Amino acid sequence: MPRKNRIKAIPGSRRRMSELLLAEAVPKVGAQGDIVRVRAGFARNYLVPQGLATVATEENKLAVEEHKKAQAAARMGQIKTLRELGESVGKYSVTLEAHANKEGHLYGSILAADISAQLKAANFPVEASQIRLEGPLKETGMYTVKVQLDPEVATEVKVWVVPKAGAIE
């Protein structure tokens, strides 16, 4: 009984090569969804048994192309949502109270986590890892802080650091 998806060597090549569709990213071979040419033994003994690749049939190639189109459409929707969030965050300003002395130096410091918590309290889903501070904020005043929502979407938010009422010593 013949096997349906048998790994075959590519005709016309000196070395026995196989054309495979990668199911997962394989270092030094390719990324997920890539169609690669590898030696038949490498395909037969490692990639296919480990579930890292499958035979590159026309059906599989079409399925991958459709999947890539669906992923691209989803990515475009995600970018659109993040840009809308970026515009909203850019119009918002965060006010943080902290203990400070008379000169305006804080006894502690304001970190990205503090800014993120304030933004989350205002219903903006911004993580601390998305806030780009050059260092902790250690004085009162107004700061413009960069927010990197995605590699393609960045915005800025105004952060006001004010002393706590009655806490100036």
Structural domains in the chain, CATH included, are 17-69 (3.40.5.10), 82-163 (3.10.430.100)
Q: What pLDDT is recorded for position 26?
A: 92
At 139-155, the pLDDT tens digits run 999 999 999 999 989 99
- pLDDT of residue 156 exceeding 80, the answer is yes
- For 157-164, what is the mean pLDDT? 92
Predicted local distance difference test score (pLDDT) of residue 18: 86
Q: Which residue has the higher pLDDT, 6 or 123?
A: 123
Alpha-carbon dihedral 18, 40, 37, 34, rounded to 10 degrees: 90
CB atoms within 10 A of CB 146: 13
| Rounded Cα distance, 74 and 158, in Å | 31
- Model pTM score: 0.66
What does DSSP say about strands 131-132 and 17-22: parallel, antiparallel, or unpaired? unpaired
For 22-37, what is each residue's pLDDT tens digit?
989 999 999 988 889 9
SS (HEC) of 68-93:
HHHHHHHHHHHHHHHHHHHHHHHHCE
Residue 29's H or E segment, with its range, is none
| pLDDT tens, position by position, 68-117 | 899 999 999 999 999 999 999 999 999 999 999 988 899 988 999 999 99
